[in-house]
């Protein structure tokens, strides 16, 4: 859609959408293993606590969903509906906290940035200032 908007035709609002890419990672590659180990050593306790909380919340949401499906819509009290909604919000916040931990780690890690830029470069998607930054970071890492 974004490419079509560049040609015109009344679809200009698609051109304002942010770029998004799918990145496939080989979890057996030695660099990915090294990054994962470093992440666990730095953020391991936070991630473990977050995983425990997410698991607990998912179980509670699943249980409440199951219980509510057993009843007709008019039999559900507002308190039950509110409790389920609050649990879902709490689960979303916990999942967003996990994403925040991972994003903060990745934003500060030169090797992660380098791997992402290598993937972009391999697909001819790294240009301009981003390419210059990649080259400078490559020299620094060497």
pLDDT tens figures, 12-65: 555 566 667 777 889 999 999 999 999 999 999 999 999 999 999 999 999 999
Question: Is residue 7, in this structure, part of any structural domain at all?
Answer: no
What kind and span of H or E run contains 24? none
Question: Is residue 94, in this structure, part of any structural domain at all?
Answer: yes
d(CA 43, CA 50): 11
Question: Is residue 93, in this structure, part of any structural domain at all?
Answer: yes
Tell me which residue range forms the domain holding 102.
Answer: 44-108
User: What Å distances lie between residue 45 and 6, 31, 37, 70, 104, CA to CA?
Assistant: 46, 22, 13, 38, 15
Question: Is residue 100, in this structure, part of any structural domain at all?
Answer: yes
d(CA 11, CA 100): 33
Looking at the structure of the chain, the number of domains it has is 1
d(CA 20, CA 140): 28
Question: Is residue 131, in this structure, part of any structural domain at all?
Answer: no
Tens of pLDDT along 88-115?
Answer: 999 999 999 999 999 999 998 989 999 8
Q: Tokens 């990145």 sit at which residue?
A: 23
Taking the whole predicted model, whether its pTM rises above 0.85 is answered as no
Question: Is residue 130, in this structure, part of any structural domain at all?
Answer: no
Question: Is residue 115, in this structure, part of any structural domain at all?
Answer: no
Decide: 32 and 114 in contact? Cβ < 8 Å.
no
Question: Is residue 104, in this structure, part of any structural domain at all?
Answer: yes
């Amino acid at each position: 859609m974004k490419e079509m908007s560049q040609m015109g035709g009344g679809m200009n609002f698609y051109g304002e959408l942010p770029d998004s890419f799918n990145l496939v990672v080989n979890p057996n590659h030695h660099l990915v293993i090294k990054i994962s180990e470093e992440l666990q050593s730095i953020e391991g306790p936070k991630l473990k606590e977050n995983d425990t909380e997410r698991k607990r919340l998912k179980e509670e949401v699943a249980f409440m969903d199951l219980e509510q499906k057993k009843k007709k819509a008019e039999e559900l009290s507002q308190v039950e509906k509110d409790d389920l909604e609050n649990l879902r919000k709490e689960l979303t916040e916990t999942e967003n906290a996990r994403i925040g931990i991972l994003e903060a780690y990745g934003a500060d890690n030169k090797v992660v940035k380098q791997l992402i830029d290598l993937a972009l470069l391999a697909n001819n998607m790294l240009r301009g200032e981003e390419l210059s930054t990649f080259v400078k970071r490559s020299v620094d890492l060497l």
